[in-house]
Chain A
Amino acid sequence: MVKDIICVACPMGCQISVDMNDNGEILSISGNTCKRGDAYARTECTAPARSLTTTVKVSGGIHPVVPVKSAQAVPKGLIMECAKHIASLEIKAPVKIGDIVCKDILGTGVDIIATNICPEA
């Protein structure tokens, strides 16, 4: 079976074809311009992951929310659940860049960290 995917590792957006057998083992990869594309195609076919950016509620800050990101990519299938979980949290101002907002989100081993400051109002 051949699976066509688009590499999102850089803005080139190469179209990569991955040839797999019935057990889901990768036989060959073609169409990538560089090595990063090879690595991307392999994870995309076995355990696709994406980084997540969203906001979390803040009390007592100059703004009602502060932006956050996942420190590493989380499994693609858990993106919506992670976003929902973060939406249910509320943290207190002041917030600094890099503050851990949620440790080991949904048991993925990935931390959610603040990407902006939010001083007290």
Chain B
Amino acid sequence: MIKYDLAVIGGGPAGMAAALRARECGVEKIIVLERAETLGGILEQCIHTGFGLHYFKTELSGPEYAARFIELVEDSDIEVKIDTMVLSISDDNVVTAVNKTDGLLEIDATAVILAMGCRERPRGALNIAGTRCAGVLSAGTAQKYVNIDGYMPGKEVVILGSGDIGLIMARRMTLEGAKVKMVCELMPYSSGLTRNIVQCLDDFDIPLKLSTTVIDIHGKERLEGVTIAKVDDNRRPIPGTEEFVPCDTLMLSVGLIPENELSKNMGIEFDPVTNGPVVDELRETSHPGVFACGNVLHVHDLVDFVTKESQIAGEGAAKYILGGKTDKKYVKTKGINGVRYIVPQKIDLANEGDVELYFRVGDVHKNAKIIVTYNGQEIISRKRPRLAPGEMENVVIKNDMLKNFDENGIIEIQVED
């Protein structure tokens, strides 16, 4: 068994930023474990631009954003093991991993940061009828094929799901010479950014069909087409609206789920809405010394926020490693009336700084107000011209406010139209 101060699971933007910040805070023996062949995580395949506007104040592609952190990690004394898959984490923070050169590795870590990212919902989670033929794949898998492996998965494409990944792949496939017939969206609105609808669909005359879903898949060996149908307000297909669309590829872009098998096996407390661990303001989970950040905690749309959150986790881990475990007294946070979730879910009253609360709404709102209450009393009210499920929001709880709160009190955030 090898002893480390900090083990970071996952070498994407979250893992790298957390490790770097912990190092800056004085943590000495740090190891990053990454199962892929390079650092960088999902960014390596996100070759479009749109990253870094907040953090670097310039528009970078995914690999360029990742490269800035990979360079910093390589120049530091942080140890990195690539091609290394973490299998389990024990109750006393022993990390078990495996790779080809070392075989089975056991790392006794004082603190652990979970930064495993997320993965796409598979077809099974969707319940579409029809055959199991080739040509049905997730948009993220297609993105890896095209952008890293240089392989085109098909020529005539239908995309189900209009989140940003679906929109970006519609443009990507078109640029590589494929015909994207349409993007279908179950909801009456797209969950992607308006700019992506303009730049990725309108620019290439790709139709966006709202309130529409795929109800059947046809083909024996290879996909030959799909049946689409309009849906009603309860998202049920409307009889008589079925239409057959010939295609050889169906791409699914129907949401991401945090990759939490490891954390679930540890018995960590979970938030049923985020599908990630419940954390405090330092991103510490219910398991002492185990922190979480990035897409494993909640799905982010902007990597800039991933970086910021991971720096908080890195600082939190450093505090734990250098200062030891402390008794924490929490005030809780909760989203109500239109707010789906808040991260962090609790705040330690002894915290000495301001605390930013990140949250998402469940619907599109125009000219709405965000109201923050403490035990039912309004403490903050902010006007927002536009709120959308696809865009993460935040409010700051000032430290002098926090000082007046009590253990087991509750901070709630809601939307008022």
Contacts and interface: CB of A to CB of B under 8 A. Distances in A.
B194 A6 contact: yes
A84 B174 CA distance: 11
Given A12-B386, A115-B64, A76 B203 contact: yes
B47 A55 contact: yes
Contact of B48 (A53, A62, A87): A53
Interface of B: 37, 44, 47-49, 53, 60-61, 63-64, 67, 146-151, 172, 174-177, 193-195, 197-199, 203, 385-386, 391
Contacts of B60: 115
User: Which range contains the number of A residues in contact with the other chain?
Assistant: 20 to 34
A8 interface: yes
Given A12-B386, A87-B177, A116 B63 contact: yes
A1 to B, nearest CB: 19
21 contacts: A8-B198, A10-B195, A11-B193, A11-B194, A13-B194, A50-B203, A51-B49, A53-B61, A54-B47, A54-B176, A55-B147, A65-B148, A65-B149, A67-B47, A69-B47, A79-B175, A84-B177, A97-B64, A115-B60, A115-B64, A117-B67
B147 A83 contact: no
A65 B150 contact: yes
Given A53-B49, A80-B175, A115 B203 contact: no
Nearest to A57: B150
A103 to B, nearest CB: 20
A-B pairs, 10 with minimum CB distance: A13-B194, A116-B63, A65-B150, A67-B47, A64-B150, A8-B195, A83-B175, A115-B61, A53-B48, A6-B198
B195 A13 contact: yes
Contacts of A8: 194-195, 198-199
Interface in A49-92: 50-55, 57, 62-65, 67, 69, 76, 79-80, 83-84, 87
A24 B6 CA distance: 63
A33 B385 CA distance: 11
Contacts of A12: 386
Interface string A1-23: 00000111011110000000000
A80 B386 CA distance: 34
A115 B47 contact: yes
Contacts of A83: 175-176
B150 A63 contact: yes
A116 B67 CA distance: 8
B310 to A, nearest CB: 21
Nearest to A86: B175
A69 B198 contact: no
Contact of A116 (B64, B199, B386): B64
Contacts of A79: 175, 203
B195 A11 contact: yes
B148 A115 contact: no
A69 B48 CA distance: 8
B51 to A, nearest CB: 11
B325 to A, nearest CB: 40
A25 to B, nearest CB: 24
B54 to A, nearest CB: 10
A115 to B, nearest CB: 4
| Residue among B44, B61, B67, B385 with max Cβ neighbours from chain A (10 Å) | B61
A8 B199 CA distance: 8
Contacts of A84: 177
Contacts of A6: 194-195, 197-198
A42 B44 CA distance: 34
A11 B54 CA distance: 12
A6 B198 CA distance: 7
Interface string A97-114: 100000000000000000
Contacts of A7: 195
Contacts of B61: 53, 67, 69, 115-116
Name, among B47, B53, B203, the residue most crowded by chain A CB atoms within 10 Å (CB to CB).
B47
Given A11-B193, A55-B47, A64 B149 contact: yes
A97 B65 CA distance: 11
Contact of B63 (A10, A62, A115): A115
A69 B150 contact: no
A69 B67 contact: no
A107 to B, nearest CB: 20
Given A8-B199, A55-B146, A55-B147, A13 B175 contact: no
Contacts of B385: 33
A13 B193 contact: yes
A119 to B, nearest CB: 10
A11 B192 CA distance: 10
Contacts of B176: 54, 83, 87
A83 B193 CA distance: 24
